[in-house]
Amino acid sequence: MRLARILLIAAGLLAPGPGRAELVLVASVRTAAVEVSRERAENLYLGHATTLADGTPVKLIDLPNGTLRDDFYLKLTGKNPAQIRAYWSRLVFTGRALPPREASSTAEARQWLLDTPNLIGYMERTDVPPGARILQRLP
């Protein structure tokens, strides 16, 4: 009985918690995107590219500062929060790229994905609005 409880707790610690579903990259409802490779996604979120592989211009969404955003950049680009902040500051303040649009909450990001074509964002899989297409999974 006791062992079972310890195992349960251990499993709970190892598995993603109930609020920590899988992170996914997602395209807004009216985006013509067929496919976005992981490499293209990385290029988009590092400011190297502003279009999809077929040349369609897209805009990016960022979530507010927090663990979801930090997780996303770490998984996609391998850069920690301080590195990604310094990296994007350089791009933005040297006139190279415009930063992703920062939503004030996941709810706002969902709303944008429903209403604006050619937008790409990221969120937990359980938060993806109906009609939006999952492009990449970032387990």
Partner 1 sequence: MKPFHALLFAFAAITPLAARADTPSPFSLSGFGTLGAARTDNATRAFRANSVSDSGAGASFDLSVDSVLGIQGSLQIGSRLDLTLQSVVRKSPTGSYDPRVTWAFASYQATPELLLRIGRTRLPFFMYSDSLNLNYANPWIRPPVEVYSLNPLSDIDGADALYRRQIGGTDIELHAYAGHSAMNIRGGSANLDKIRGLKASFSRNGLTAQFSYAQADMSLRWSDAHFLSLQQALVATGYGAIVPELSGTDGKTSFMSAGLQYDQDRLLLIAEIARRNVDRYIDTGMGWYVTAGYRTGAFTPYLTVARQRETSPVSSAVTGVAALDIGLAAFNAGRNKAQRSIGAGLRWDAGRNVAVKAQLERIQPGPGGLGIFLPSQLGDYLKPDGPTHVLSLAVDFVF
β-strand partners of 24: 123, 137
Burial label for 39, CB within 10 Å (0-12, 13-18, 19+), is exposed
The binder of partner 1 chosen from 7, 85, 126, 134 (CB under 8 A): 85
Quick one: 18 or 57, whose CB is closer to partner 1? 57
Asked if residue 49 binds partner 1 (CB under 8 A), the reply is yes
The answer to whether 87 touches 46, Cβ cutoff 8 Å, is yes
Residue 137's CB is within 10 A of a number of other CB atoms, namely 11
The answer to whether 116 touches 108, Cβ cutoff 8 Å, is no
Site for partner 1 in 87-126 (CB under 8 A): 87, 89-90, 92-96, 98-99, 101, 103-104, 108, 111-112, 115-116, 118-119
Quick one: 6 or 107, whose CB is closer to partner 1? 107
- Distance of closest approach, residue 134 Cβ to partner 1, in angstroms: 20
Quick one: 79 or 125, whose CB is closer to partner 1? 79
Helices (H), 1-139: 2-14, 38-45, 67-77, 81-93, 106-115
**Binding pattern for the stretch 55-84 against partner 1, x by CB under 8 A and - elsewhere:** x-x-x-x---x---------------xx--
